[in-house]
Every structure is written in C-alpha cells, then in structure tokens.
C-alpha cells in the first residue's frame, strides 16, 4: 500500500472516528502520532533511502487532514526540520531518528515576519544567544526539538535545532485556539538562550527569504482541502468538482498563482463547512457534532499560514462572492 493509500485508510478508519474526542482534549493522543510514525509518515520529507516520499506531499497532507486536523497540524510541523537536518552537519545524529519519528520536531518561525525580528541572535563564543518571542509554536509537550529561526545584526536569518525543553532561558505561554486546541500551540520567549554552533542548520540573508517562502505555499493549502474533502464525504457532494479544481491549482506550485490558489482553498473550506452546517440543521451546532467542528477548523485555516498576498486575494473572494 502506498503512503497516500495508507493516509486515506488511517484518516477514514482511525483519525475521523476519534476527531471529536481529540477536538475536546487538551492534546493530540500520543497513540495518533505513534501510529503515523509507525507507518513511516514522519519520514515523508526525508531522503528516499529513509522512507522519503517520491512525489509531491500535498495529497498525503489533505488525506490526513480530512481525518483529524489537530493531529495533522502537529505532524505537519515536523517536515521542515527533516529537510534542514538532511542538508546540515546534524544529519549524522538526527536524521534517522527524525525520519523514524523517534524524535519529533516543531517550528518557531516568527522571526521571518517582515519588520524588526521577533527573535534576535547575538554572536558569542561557541554559538549564539537567542532573545525574543516566537508566537504560534505548535506541539508543545509532544515534540523533542524546535526548528527555530532568529535574525542577527546583519539581518541574516539563522536556523537552529533546539531542545524543546522549558527552563530559565526558554519559557512558554499556552494559547487557547477556537479549533485544533489539542495541538498545544504556545508562545515561546527566549532570554539569552544559548544555541551552540553545532545546532545551526542554515543561514540566509533575510532579503532572500520571501522568494524562497513563496515557492512553498502550496503545502499548507492542502490542510483546507482536507476539511473540504471531509465535508464532501459527509454530504456536500456538489462541491467535489471545485475541490478537484483547487487541488490542480495548488499542484501547479507557481509562486505567481499560489496566493490566489491558497485563497480559493481556504474560501472553499469555509463554504463547504457552512453548507454542511445548514444541511445538517440544528443538531449541527451541538458540541459533539462534526459540522460545527469543521466550520471552526475552516475559520482557523482562513488565517493559518497566511501572507499579505493570500489575505488580499481571500478578502476579494469573500467580498465579491466569487467562486
């Protein structure tokens, strides 16, 4: 069975039947993440010899998100660290356990936002000191490592793999989300947090980051299509053709067209979930029913991983009712 076929099976047989319980929980069950690790999903971004996926990952992301968005949201954070470690000196000790899911990673990318860096790196003997605040860090308590970016005095972005352990120099503040709250998303604050040179995975002038970022926006868009996929499976079948069109637009992976494609995916998820609520009727707003969960998740995905260009395209679609 291919990884995509296995993702669809697990989504339908394991993740979706427990999605309401996860929605009400304070964290994604360890059994869910262990299951994904046991079936090789943590290796998806790794090299082929360690189980890396031979082809675009979007369909796998969509399939898993159609089962349980919270589980998928925690798992999806892992893959950037795998890609970074595979091309760094850390590959010797980290790559195999990351690909096996024996070590699991999250991301802290707040310093990549335009404007003054939210996390600053100061050069010291043997490494760097990180100071500042990284919002929207997902998976706390379920990850072992945190792939973190900071910017130094020359406005160079510096990525490093940190231990995901709270202490005097690394503190966390839990956030309460309207959806995927079981993802245990937090704000992290660094206070002269020492990062050894050996934990640095890469550096890039910050001015070069937007072009690289634009080339990878399709990945997150498939989360919204996962929500739509589940709505179609639950009865909103007349949106199946639009769902397929959104897939094709995201698969083009063209930086020039991706903002519009991402906006279309998010708007479709919102419309599909709203249709499901209306179709289901009054019972749809009960806390143990899937329609209200999917509507909250679609709302969450309107803003997750957004960029100014995506936001502008989405606001245009919502203002004009264009589909």
Beta strands 186-196 and 127-137 are: antiparallel
Contact (Cβ atoms closer than 8 angstroms) between residue 97 and residue 103:
yes
Q: Is the pTM of this model over 0.85?
A: yes
Cα 220 from Cα 174, distance rounded (Å) = 23
Does residue 210 lie in a domain region? no
Q: Is the pLDDT of residue 216 over 80?
A: no
Number of structural domains (the chain) is: 3
Last residue of a domain, one of 181, 205, 229: 205
Over the stretch 70-82, which tens digit does the pLDDT of each residue have? Answer: 999 999 999 999 9
pLDDT digits (tens, 9 = 90+) for 255-303: 889 999 999 999 999 999 999 999 999 999 999 999 999 999 999 999 9
pLDDT score recorded for residue 253: 74
Tokens 């996962």 -> residue: 226
Confidence at 323, pLDDT banded by 50, 70, 90: low
What CATH number is associated with residue 230? Answer: 1.20.140.10
**Of 40, 75, 100, the domain-final residue:** 100
Co-location of 219 and 316 in the same domain: yes
Rounded CA gap, 315 and 309, in Å? 10
Largest CA-CA distance found in the chain, in angstroms, rounded: 64
Q: Which of 65, 100, 135 is the last residue of a domain?
A: 100
Domain co-membership, 228 together with 316: yes
The answer to whether residues 224 and 313 belong to one domain is yes
Its domain, for residue 244, covers 215-320
Six-digit token pair at 230? Answer: 């589940």
């Amino acid at each position: 069975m291919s990884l995509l076929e296995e993702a669809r099976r697990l989504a339908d047989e394991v993740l979706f039947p427990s999605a309401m319980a996860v929605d009400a929980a304070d964290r994604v069950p360890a059994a869910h993440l262990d299951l994904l690790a046991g079936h090789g999903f943590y290796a998806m971004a790794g090299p082929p010899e360690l189980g890396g996926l031979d082809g675009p990952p979007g369909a796998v992301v969509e399939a898993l998100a159609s089962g349980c968005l919270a589980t998928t949201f925690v798992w999806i954070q892992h893959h950037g660290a795998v890609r970074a470690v595979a091309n760094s000196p850390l590959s010797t000790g980290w790559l195999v356990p990351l690909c096996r899911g024996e070590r699991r990673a999250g991301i802290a990318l707040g310093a990549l936002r335009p404007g003054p860096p939210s996390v600053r790196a100061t050069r010291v003997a043997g490494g760097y000191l990180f100071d500042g605040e990284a919002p929207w860090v997902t998976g706390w308590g379920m990850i072992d490592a945190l792939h973190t970016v900071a910017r130094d005095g020359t406005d160079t972005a510096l990525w490093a793999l940190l231990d995901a352990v709270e202490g005097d120099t690394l503190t966390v503040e839990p956030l309460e989300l309207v959806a995927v709250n079981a993802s245990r998303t937090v704000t992290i604050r660094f206070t002269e947090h020492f990062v050894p040179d050996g934990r640095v995975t890469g550096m890039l002038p910050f001015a070069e980051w937007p072009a690289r970022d634009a080339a990878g926006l399709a990945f997150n868009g498939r989360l919204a299509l996962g929500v739509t996929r589940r709505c179609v499976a639950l009865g909103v079948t007349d949106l199946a053709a639009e769902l397929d069109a959104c897939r094709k637009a995201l698969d083009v992976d063209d930086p020039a067209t991706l903002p519009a494609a991402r906006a279309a995916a998010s708007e479709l998820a919102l419309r599909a979930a709203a249709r499901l609520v209306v179709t289901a009727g009054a019972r749809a707003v009960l806390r143990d029913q899937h329609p209200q969960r999917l509507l909250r998740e679609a709302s969450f995905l309107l803003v997750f991983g957004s960029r100014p260009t995506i936001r502008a395209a989405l606001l245009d679609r919502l203002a004009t009712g264009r589909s």
